[in-house]
């Protein structure tokens, strides 16, 4: 049973919703790749990263249940680095440096609307959590970003054993928050992983589209969220 049937949890995706890489991912790959002998341009690195990431995510989805682990996540990224930076002289050393780079809180920033939105939601007696397809590095990043201090729980796919949009991931979110599906609103920028996945698990979901291309049914900024929740 939930700890408090009246308590409302707002659960957020991490990357693209609350935080973003700074510098952007492809520029970090380019800089570190060059230090390890790569001669690809930033544009080439960006194109290769986008293609490799999309291909690997699609292939993972086609292979059945979205199971994962810390070891599997590390293998995923190591293989992807090899595809993006094939001309690096020492791919293992290049991967190790990139993996450490994205473990550093200094490589990430919160979007400007996060702190204000979190404060308003807390004033409305909402409890806040983060739930992401990531690995254990996310915990250190979130703990170091002051804007995320109000977030009580962090649920990470590599620790759960399943990635979004698998229903087991959302079941783990409910278990961590000690609540029922009807107490949760899931907010994220991925229409499949965050919105459809949450809805299939019985949660209310809100799509965040910071590009403004998805239409009127999506939020463009998190500052719109408190009013939307109150209107329901």
| Token pair for 88 | 């690096």
pLDDT at position 231: 83
The closest alpha carbon to 152, from 176, 124, 123, 172, belongs to 176
Q: How much is the pLDDT for 144?
A: 98
Sheet containing strand 151-156, strands side by side: 151-156, 126-132, 8-12, 184-188, 204-207
Q: What is the pLDDT of residue 64?
A: 60
- What ranges in 5-63 are assigned the alpha helix state H? 25-35, 42-62
Q: For the chain, which residues score pLDDT lower than 50?
A: 1
Q: Which two structure tokens, joined as six digits, stand for 14?
A: 């991490």
pLDDT digit string (tens) for 181-200?
999 999 999 999 999 999 99
The answer to whether 118 touches 63, Cβ cutoff 8 Å, is no
Query: Tell me, what's the pLDDT at 1?
Result: 39
Of 128, 108, 142, nearest in space to 9 by CA: 128
What predicted TM-score, i.e. pTM, was given to this entire model?
0.94
Angle at 105 between CA 103 and CA 106, to 5 degrees: 110
Phi-psi region of 176 (alpha: psi -120 to 50; beta: other; left: phi over 0): alpha
Hey, what domains does the chain have and what are their CATH numbers? 8-18+111-231 (3.40.50.1000), 21-106 (1.10.150.720)
Residue 66: the pLDDT is: 86
């Amino acid at each position: 049973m939930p700890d408090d049937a009246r308590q409302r949890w707002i659960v957020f995706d991490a990357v693209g919703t609350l935080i973003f890489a700074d510098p952007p991912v492809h520029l970090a790959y380019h800089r570190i790749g060059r230090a390890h002998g790569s001669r690809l341009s930033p544009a080439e690195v960006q194109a290769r990263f986008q293609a490799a990431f999309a291909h690997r995510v699609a292939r993972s989805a086609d292979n059945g249940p979205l199971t994962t682990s810390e070891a599997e996540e590390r293998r995923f990224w190591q293989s992807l680095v090899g595809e993006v930076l094939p001309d690096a002289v020492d791919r293992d050393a290049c991967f190790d440096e990139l993996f450490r780079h994205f473990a550093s809180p200094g490589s990430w920033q919160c979007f400007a609307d996060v702190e204000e939105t979190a404060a308003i939601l807390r004033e409305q007696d909402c409890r806040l959590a983060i739930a992401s397809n990531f690995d254990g590095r996310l915990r250190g990043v979130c703990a170091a970003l002051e804007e995320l201090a109000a977030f009580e729980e962090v649920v990470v796919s590599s620790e759960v054993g399943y990635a979004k949009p698998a229903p087991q991931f959302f079941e783990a979110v409910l278990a961590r928050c000690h609540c029922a599906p009807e107490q949760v609103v899931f907010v994220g920028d991925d229409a499949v992983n965050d919105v459809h996945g949450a809805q299939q698990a019985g949660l209310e979901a809100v799509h965040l589209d910071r590009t403004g291309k998805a239409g009127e049914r999506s939020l463009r900024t998190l500052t719109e969220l408190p009013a939307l929740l109150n209107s329901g």
